[in-house]
Amino acid sequence: MDTSKSSSNPVHNATAQKPPRMEHFMLKDLDTGMKSYVTDQDWVEKPTIPASNPPSSVAVRQVTTQPAPVVNAARPPVPPNSSRPRPPVQKRARSDELQNVYKTLRPTDHVRVVVHKKRDRERHFGNLYRWQRVAAHHGTIRVIEFNKLGTYLASAGQDALIKLWDIDCYLQENRTIVLNAIDAPSTAGPSQTRIHSAYNYIKKGPPAAVFKGHTSDITALSWSKNDFLLSASMDKTIRLWHPNSKACLRRFLHEDFVTCVSFHPTDEQICISGMANGIVTMWHLKERKILSKAETDDLITACAITPDGTTALVGTAHGRCKFYGLFDEIQGEWQFKHTTQLDVRSRRAKNAQGKKICGFRFYGKSDKVVVSSNDSRLRLYRLDDKSVLTKFVGHLNSESRHKASFAPGGRYVLCGSESRMVYIWEVDYSLYRVPPAVGQTMKKPVHEDETSLQKRKDAGNSYESFVAQDSGEVTAAVFAPKMVPERALSARSAFSKSVTSGLVIVTAGDDGFLRVFGCC
């Protein structure tokens, strides 16, 4: 037998004679991730690529220069370390509505609330959700105010426009779907099987009214008990408006920039305004005349009238709060009468010099007021003896005009910050508890109780905070004066009974947006 001739056995040929050296290539479809393998000869022959995949989406990578493996005609070659394509996983079909919800609603609708220096570390606002974002103004929003009934929200700022927004406490829903166990993803836990929709707390559509007339930045707003609205502006005027009229009802010219304005709480024909030249003016709106003037030695930055309507508080740029009586009982006429002065400052050297007073917010109809100032402090004062009950710290307010805002019932107070944050403090229980019945007296006054004093001090240093916007500055933040009814929340997927359920927070930013947050 001639051994020089090759055998007809293909296996013997494969072992006796080495095949020519071939390079091995991998084709990977970057769109689908599918892989296929070719030799250099196949590549020279220009293998066809499916028309559905454009040439730009195919990547060719050299894998090895080792000889190609022996080809078995009964089975296609499988390159080493290759993974066979798996059949696609069959997913449960979802309705179009549910798929749209997944696309539009994100898990960030739940707001992360941070607790600071609380002994119990309890998050009272752990059930806070981002409900709505409204493109309201061009430029910075400087002030937002609810009317007394909580049916309107007024916003104004850099664009010199005042916009009124209708409020719906019963929360028209955009979309709310509770996922059943069958529809929920298998990896989702109990807290992940619900989708929280954005509710229309501010009614959808254009604002209820847009008031035009001011020619410069609007600095302050004030509502009367019958929904009349006063606006102050850097154009040296204050204007009177009403939701039922698109036109300006009254216009009052001033000598200098108007920095603040306030309605009388019981007589809406009376208001006061403060100017940059240090003059505070009392106006009779119906008769369009000045009733009285008072001059200070500093720039006026804030003003307000006590709930009983007897005293005006005027804040200045150097931290002085001046008290004026409004009505002269002897002469029987409206007239300013200076009574006393309060220096809003700390005793320590760092903050010993008074800083600009940004605003006043009265604690319901009681004799207490919160004064916000540019030393990043909120101070809760008693009006009878001018003593400080609590000092709230944590936020940053060194140049802006952030004011405090009380929640309905007075248990919480919040304030915006020059960062993206909103800060919330719990007011000491002894201040907002139900007063004793008629004929009963407290064993010890609150302000003389050392334990209560220490509790109030701790409360001022303990707070909860959350990020209100992704960038920029929160320019204003308020609690809504009216809580969302429980029956409006009980039907919602996110509802869980808590002490804060139904509270609503509205913030404004330097980006012109209003943002609504609610506790479910």
145 residue type, one letter? E
Fold (topology level) of 113-519:
Methylamine Dehydrogenase; Chain H (2.130.10)
Does residue 71 have a pLDDT over 80? no
Residue 347, CB-side half-sphere exposure with 13 Å CA sphere: 2
pLDDT band at 19 (very low <50, low <70, confident <90, very high): low
Other CB atoms within 10 A of residue 264 CB = 21
pLDDT, mean of residues 298-311: 96
Give the number of residues written for the chain: 520
Q: pTM for this structure?
A: 0.72
The pLDDT value recorded for residue 376 is 93
Return the closest-CA partner of residue 513 out of 12, 201, 153, 155: 155
The pLDDT value recorded for residue 465 is 96
The mean of the pLDDT values for the chain is: 78
pLDDT, mean of residues 137-156: 96
Task: Give 168-194 pLDDT, tens digit per residue.
Answer: 877 765 443 333 333 333 333 333 333
Return the closest-CA partner of residue 179 out of 89, 91, 90, 97: 97
Three-state SS annotation for 293-361: EEECCCCEEEEEECCCCCEEEEEECCCEEEEEEEEECCCCEEEEEEEEEEECCCCCCCCCCCCCEEEEE
Return the closest-CA partner of residue 282 out of 256, 301, 263: 263
User: Locate tokens 């050392």: which residue?
Assistant: 450
CB neighbours of 395 closer than 8 A, spacing ≥ 6? 376, 402, 415, 416, 417, 421, 423, 465
DSSP labels for 113-165?
Answer: EEEES-SS---TTTTEEEEEEEE--SS-EEEEEE-TTSSEEEEEETTS-EEEE
361, two tokens: 């917010």
- C-alpha distances (whole Å) from 347 to each of 350, 369, 487 are 8, 20, 49
Task: Give 271-284 pLDDT, tens digit per residue.
Answer: 999 999 999 999 99
Query: Are 173 and 199 within 8 A, CB to CB?
Result: yes
pLDDT, mean of residues 338-350: 85
Rounded CA-CA distance 257/58 in Å is 67
The pLDDT value recorded for residue 53 is 46
Sketch the domain layout of the chain as residue ranges.
Answer: 20-75, 113-519
pLDDT, mean of residues 425-438: 61
- C-alpha distances (whole Å) from 99 to each of 92, 179, 440, 469, 476 are 12, 12, 62, 27, 36
Dihedral sign of CA atoms 190, 175, 519, 516 in order: positive
CA dihedral 323, 328, 330, 331 (to 10 degrees): 150
